[in-house]
Structure 1
Amino acid sequence: MSAVVVDGARVGRDEEMTVSLLFEPLTLREVTFPNRVWMSPMCQYSADAEGPSTGAVTPWHRTHLVSRAVGGVGLVMTEAASVSPEGRITPWDLGIWNDQQANALAEVVTEIRQYGSVPAIQLAHAGRKASTDAPWRGGKPLAADDSLAWETVGPSAVEFGHYPAPREMTTADIDKVVDDFRSAAVRALAAGFDVAEVHAAHGYLLHQFLSPASNHRTDEYGGSFEGRIRLTLRVVDAIREVWPADKPVFVRVSATDWTGDERGVDSEAWTPDQTVLLTQQLEDHGVDLVDVSTGGNVAKASIPVEPGYQVPFARRIQSETRIPAAAVGLITEPKQAEDIIGSGEAVAVFLARELLRDPYWARRAARELGAEITPATPPQYERAF
């Protein structure tokens, strides 16, 4: 595993500035993040669904991503970028399955870096949760006769809630997915990203393989824990083959399916114990950080949503493995985020909807905590801070 290097505490020139771990830099491999407030992937469903620019970033995406870099976050991560057309959640998802999409992303990457944030990309395949409408139109699976619909695939022909059952993937299909992730990583690197995150959470394809709730296979990709994690490890290995040794790879996981059955590795769903065991394996495959979320794979799961409800799962990764963890989920207040980092529950926090409400949350948090923030405030905005 690559070492985590945390620079010593720095006090700003202003005597009123105080030490804040939330705004201390973090180095993974040779990439230094200027602070620990990171932008979580958030699908915008705003790419073209058809035509020559299908899946490419638009002016909306540029504004969405670059404004958070201006707002002071240490890492800006794109929404889930599909590694293949059939891997999209909706027809309006971002993609990185061709060079045109990568070239368009490169322009955004340059601007993110210009404002001092680290550019990152999440690589994804939706599996059985693909071919749906946009959330603001109900988010339901597209009708089979819809011109924008396509056949979904999964580890087994097991439906998710009211979704149609996917086609069970062949080993050739699985090999193609691995190749698609590898090719997407090559394009992401060419676009200039410093971090690649593998999306193995929220009920999408890799999570579907991990969980016995959705993976009923009896071949080498199912059954035992070792079989169910095989695809995720193959994808990580494929990305590490092409991703530079000086740049980190993250994996986003759902630490539990929230089924109420938390018995361990023999559970009929994915559990925190299995997440810890997977993380221990990921260390040996070159993963540098685990981005810890939960849920998304069982339609009727009972999730006790409250502030910081997912942080304990990050804490387990921190305490039971040697891979650092990032926390996510209803982290909204500066002191809350500072306490998560200060107590060692995570090395960074990912913010999502809070950054939709306030793109400049990081700068406001630094002010409330009396901390100095890097990246520096753009001179055009200095009067406000």
Structure 2
Amino acid sequence: MSQLFSPVFFGPLSLSNRIVIAPMCQYSSTDGLANDWHQIHLGQLSQSGAGLLILEATAVLPEGRISWADLGLWDDATEAALTKVIDAVKRWSPMPLGVQLAHAGRKASSARPWDGGGALPASDPRAWTTHAPSALPFAANGPVPEALDEAGIDAVVEAFATAARRAERAGLDLIELHAAHGYLLHQFLSPLSNKRQDPYGGSLENRMRLLVRVFDAVREAVSDRISVGVRISASDWVDGGWDIEQSSTLAQILDMRGCQFLHVSSGGLDARQKIPQEPGYQVPFAAAIKAKVKMPVIAVGLITDPSQAESILRHNHADAIALARGILYDPRWPWHAAAALGDSLAPAPQYLRCEPREARGVFLAPEG
């Protein structure tokens, strides 16, 4: 058996294989509500054969949305809408489903990517005031966020915990806290965006304080059946910013506090970043962190070939492989990976008849 198609545990959650569908924003909600697009999108990915599907960045507060069209989980209406979608997807697929809980901080109030992206002008009726650790804009000519005061920080912690409870009630199996890509929790971590002079700024211990509080609050808010982990940017790719050494320290602290997986990405905090985008460019970060923690580590970023994914696992550089754009382009990537690696998986019985003659043995009939 290949490593890619061997089981792995994220705490209480058992995955049938090590392929993870990473969160990908759909920018298709109104007032944070999940809708038919999400049901279609998640439904097709739930039939991909991956071991886990994590829903897009889902805002814990309305002002925490990246754009006005982001998914949310902050009130009864958003919970009910998401529950309806999750119920429909789970009716037809045994694949575990997770959600990435997020707050965009100073990168909130943006246009959708296909509308140009970037911060909405203050004159746009859909724009709102953003918040951050410090009153520093993301872009040099961008809107200046308001620095969160202590009461605002407490409200963010409670919002994450409340959203986590809603996620469990909605039937989700896993929660990933979004502390990557320049969003609020990452903004607190990085000295480039956090210039506070209080217990949430300055030293590494202080800059990690909010994320640790949020993790503890979420872990306490949900039952033991829910896997709770974190996605981080291991480096800002800017001198003087967040880096792999600080990430390793954070990972060890989260590991000791019961974190059940770490999803290792990078970048997104500062426009000056210089990223060498080549196949597997973030894998060394995952490998460095994996050497220092017990929890499973997910590698992500330009991992597109089954043999490449298998090699990462065989060399013990990560415990699981996340796909994003690649699986949007090829929603049957796990099927093709199984064929390439001489392994097998169990599709929905409705799809058994499509097994190619040249790949006999790739499909196993689902149990039951």
Q: Give the TM-score, by structure 1 length.
A: 0.90
Which residue of 347, 350, 366 corresponds with 1:380?
350
Please name the residue that 2:292 is paired with.
320
CA distance in 1, matches of 2:187, 2:12: 32
Please name the residue that 1:256 is paired with.
235
> Which amino acid counterpart does residue 163 of structure 1 have in structure 2?
G
- 1:245 aligned to 2:224? yes
> Which amino acid counterpart does residue 136 of structure 2 have in structure 1?
V
Structure 1 position 104, deviation (Å): 1.9
Structure 1 position 211, deviation (Å): 0.1
Q: Name the count of aligned residue pairs.
A: 353
Which residue of 181, 191, 207 corresponds with 1:228?
207
- 1:187 aligned to 2:166? yes
SS of corresponding position for 1:320: coil
Structure 1, unaligned runs of 5 or more: 1-18, 49-53, 262-267
Please name the residue that 1:97 is paired with.
74
CA distance in 1, matches of 2:315, 2:226: 27
- 1:87 aligned to 2:64? yes
> Which amino acid counterpart does residue 263 of structure 2 have in structure 1?
D
SS of corresponding position for 1:22: coil
SS of corresponding position for 1:121: strand
Matches within 5 A, 1:288-327: 288-327=260-299
CA distance in 1, matches of 2:245, 2:295: 15
SS of corresponding position for 1:291: strand
Structure 1 position 177, deviation (Å): 0.2
Please name the residue that 1:278 is paired with.
250
Q: Quick check: 1:129–1:163 contact (8 Å CA) kept in 2?
A: no
Please name the residue that 2:123 is paired with.
145
- 1:217 aligned to 2:196? yes
Please name the residue that 1:73 is paired with.
50
RMSD: 1.1
CA displacement 1:52-83 (0-9 Å, x = unmatched): xx211111111111111111111111100000
SS of corresponding position for 2:186: helix
CA distance in 1, matches of 2:337, 2:76: 38
Structure 1 position 364, deviation (Å): 1.2
CA displacement 1:71-125 (0-9 Å, x = unmatched): 1111111100000000000000000001221222223323443312111000000
Runs (4 or more) in structure 1 with deviation over 4 Å come to none
Structure 1 position 133, deviation (Å): 0.5
Please name the residue that 2:136 is paired with.
158
CA distance in 2, matches of 1:342, 1:294: 23
CA displacement 1:243-290 (0-9 Å, x = unmatched): 21232111000000001x3xxxxxx31010000000111012221110
- 1:363 aligned to 2:335? yes
CA distance in 1, matches of 2:331, 2:44: 7
- 1:342 aligned to 2:314? yes
Q: Quick check: 2:35–2:85 contact (8 Å CA) kept in 1?
A: no
Identity of aligned residues (%): 48
> Which amino acid counterpart does residue 287 of structure 2 have in structure 1?
R
CA distance in 2, matches of 1:274, 1:379: 47
CA distance in 1, matches of 2:122, 2:173: 39
Range with greater deviation from structure 2 (222-231 or 30-39): 30-39
SS of corresponding position for 1:292: strand
- 1:117 aligned to 2:95? yes
Which residue of 28, 33, 44 corresponds with 2:10?
28
Structure 1 position 138, deviation (Å): 0.6
Q: Quick check: 1:317–1:323 contact (8 Å CA) kept in 2?
A: no
Please name the residue that 1:37 is paired with.
19
> Which amino acid counterpart does residue 277 of structure 1 have in structure 2?
T
CA distance in 2, matches of 1:336, 1:110: 35
SS of corresponding position for 1:45: coil
> Which amino acid counterpart does residue 90 of structure 1 have in structure 2?
S
CA distance in 1, matches of 2:340, 2:142: 45
1:109–1:126 CA distance, 2 compared to 1 (3 A): same
CA distance in 2, matches of 1:102, 1:360: 30
CA distance in 2, matches of 1:287, 1:217: 27
CA distance in 2, matches of 1:216, 1:120: 33
CA distance in 1, matches of 2:84, 2:9: 25
CA distance in 1, matches of 2:120, 2:37: 24
